[in-house]
Amino acid sequence: METHSLIQKYNIPGPRYTSYPTVPYWDESSFTAKAWESTFIKSFKESNVQEGISIYIHLPFCEQLCTFCGCHKRITKRHEVETPYLQSVLKEWRLYCNLLPARPIIKELHLGGGTPTFFSPENLKQLIEGIFKLASRAETYEYSFEGHPNNTTKAHLQTLYDLGFRRVSYGVQDYNLTVQKAINRIQPFENVKKVTEWAREIGYTSVSHDIIFGLPFQSTNAVKETILKTKELLPDRIAFYSYAHVPWIKGNGQRGFNENDLPKPTVKREQYELGKALLEEMGYIEIGMDHFALKSDSMYQAMQNHKLHRNFMGYTASKTQLMIGLGTSSISDSWYGFAQNEKRVEKYQAMVEEGILPVVKGHILNQEDLVIRKHILNLMCQLKTNWQQQKDYFEKLPESLQLLDEMISDGLICITGKELEITPAGRAFVRNACMAFDWRLQRNKPDTKLFSMTI
């Protein structure tokens, strides 16, 4: 089947699978904070010594709204909000540590947002030092943060480097001025060049750039020009992903344009294929879905060593069974359960002040969830999976087998015995393959908009 026809056939709403079950399919009716605490403690006991834990800290403040963004954020120019918010995060961390039978060992730590560099270097230093008053570092660790090219200072970079951070990610999106105006993110190339070079001067071992295709008013030539400019800086990693248009989500900032201003699905695919070809010419290797890395980067090495992992932070170069999310809207993952924090800043802070874990919803995985989660994780990270241990796997849900038969006919996957592998032509449709394994989705197809389009 021609690429154009494949795009028409498979461009349907679908999850990005940073978790399974996906958030809209969590069973909130049977979830309790106590049940979450139980899975959290169980996972900690099983994994803390062997592999350590991960910490994600959500820093929600931004000085202005970027209208492509689907993240939870608070727009303000009042920097006096920094200290009380960070105090709440540290109090939440203490609540978790009080549940633990031993001192946590932190293997991965990531600051996301919002805009982490909204916070002063001094305040970020107090935050990280506060975290490690109650924790130890793993022997090998990876600490990273997201920096806005317009407000990341050399002091931010040096301060976090001195605290053990070696990875920084910069949101580039697109260098075209028309696109930047549409998404309210005016960001000159010179700013990105400056902060990238600063990071390298200081000693960061991995600098990442985020580039988005499918943005409003974005042409294929604009994507080409952005990647050619990126070639001048040659970041270690590149997240090259499709804009997710989800304006129906509460609190979303996607406004000032509509679906008619977005590239058509076939144009989006052209943008991706051109970008991928250019990146590969530059020496980047495609990793999982939407990610590229140089061979010298730890993400490429993780893929080669079959240690690539995916969670709510996206792709990571190593796996931890337990990930604790701190701050508003953060999601924690104990492998056996998920828990999401209160999204409203004031309510989050009030709960923490009262000594309550600010968890407001979640899901405890059943045995079927645990099986399916492994298959979807395998597909997202290794592009293949094997169900030798579940010989009757597909017989339980014929709809899944029918969908996979279509993907086989279209040359997107191949199944040999009890193993499925995504073909090179099928890499663009890995989310669709995962959807065939997503029994909760197959059993209960949504009748309202939940997910962005897969292409």
**What's the confidence (pLDDT) of residue 306?**
87
Examine the pLDDT at 444 and tell me if it is beyond 90: no
**What's the confidence (pLDDT) of residue 177?**
95
3-class DSSP state for residue 297?
coil
Angle at 323 between CA 438 and CA 384, to 5 degrees: 35
Average pLDDT (256-264) is 81
Q: What is the pLDDT of residues 303-353, one digit of tens each?
A: 998 889 998 878 888 889 999 999 999 999 999 999 999 999 999 999 999
Distance CA 127, CA 109 (A): 12
**What's the confidence (pLDDT) of residue 250?**
55
Distance CA 325, CA 323 (A): 6
CA-closest candidate to residue 339, choices 107, 31, 88, 116: 31
Burial class from Cβ neighbours inside 10 Å (0-12, 13-18, 19+) for residue 27 reads middle
Between helix 189-202 and helix 220-233 the angle, nearest 10°, is 30
Examine the pLDDT at 233 and tell me if it is beyond 90: yes
Strand partners, 386: 419
Examine the pLDDT at 18 and tell me if it is beyond 90: no
The least confident of 68-72, 419-423, 451-455 is 451-455
Pairing of the two strands 105-113 and 136-147: parallel
Confidence of residue 276 (pLDDT cuts 50, 70, 90): very high
| Whether the Cβ atoms of residue 375 and residue 437 lie closer than 8 Å to each other | yes
H-helix or E-strand spanning residue 307? none
Distance CA 293, CA 208 (A): 9
- What Cα–Cα distance (Å) separates residue 428 from each residue in 299, 360, 412? 20, 35, 9
| Whether the Cβ atoms of residue 166 and residue 143 lie closer than 8 Å to each other | yes
Q: What is the pLDDT of residues 34-78, one digit of tens each?
A: 999 999 999 999 999 999 999 999 999 999 988 877 788 899 999
Q: What is the pLDDT of residues 119-132, one digit of tens each?
A: 999 999 999 999 99
Burial class from Cβ neighbours inside 10 Å (0-12, 13-18, 19+) for residue 424 reads exposed
CA-closest candidate to residue 240, choices 182, 149, 169, 305: 169
Three-state SS annotation for 139-190: EEEEEEEEECCCCCCHHHHHHHHHCCEEEEEEEEECCCHHHHHHCCCCCCHH
Distance CA 211, CA 115 (A): 17
Q: What are the respective helix, strand and coil percentages of the chain, to the nearest 5?
A: 45, 20, 35
Pairing of the two strands 337-341 and 359-364: antiparallel
Q: What is the mean pLDDT of the chain?
A: 90
Q: Which residues contact 311 (CB under 8 A, 6 or more apart)?
A: 18, 19, 54, 323, 333
DSSP string of 364-377, one letter each residue: E--HHHHHHHHHHH
Examine the pLDDT at 382 and tell me if it is beyond 70: yes
**What's the confidence (pLDDT) of residue 386?**
87
Sign of the dihedral through C-alpha 257, 261, 263, 264: positive
Q: What is the pLDDT of residues 66-118, one digit of tens each?
A: 887 778 889 999 999 999 999 999 999 999 999 999 999 999 999 999 999 99
DSSP string of 106-117, one letter each residue: EEEEEEEES-GG
3-class DSSP state for residue 276?
helix
Q: What is the pLDDT of residues 282-303, one digit of tens each?
A: 999 999 888 999 999 999 999 9
**What's the confidence (pLDDT) of residue 317?**
87
Distance CA 453, CA 455 (A): 6
Examine the pLDDT at 191 and tell me if it is beyond 70: yes
**What's the confidence (pLDDT) of residue 352?**
98
Higher pLDDT, 425 or 396: 425
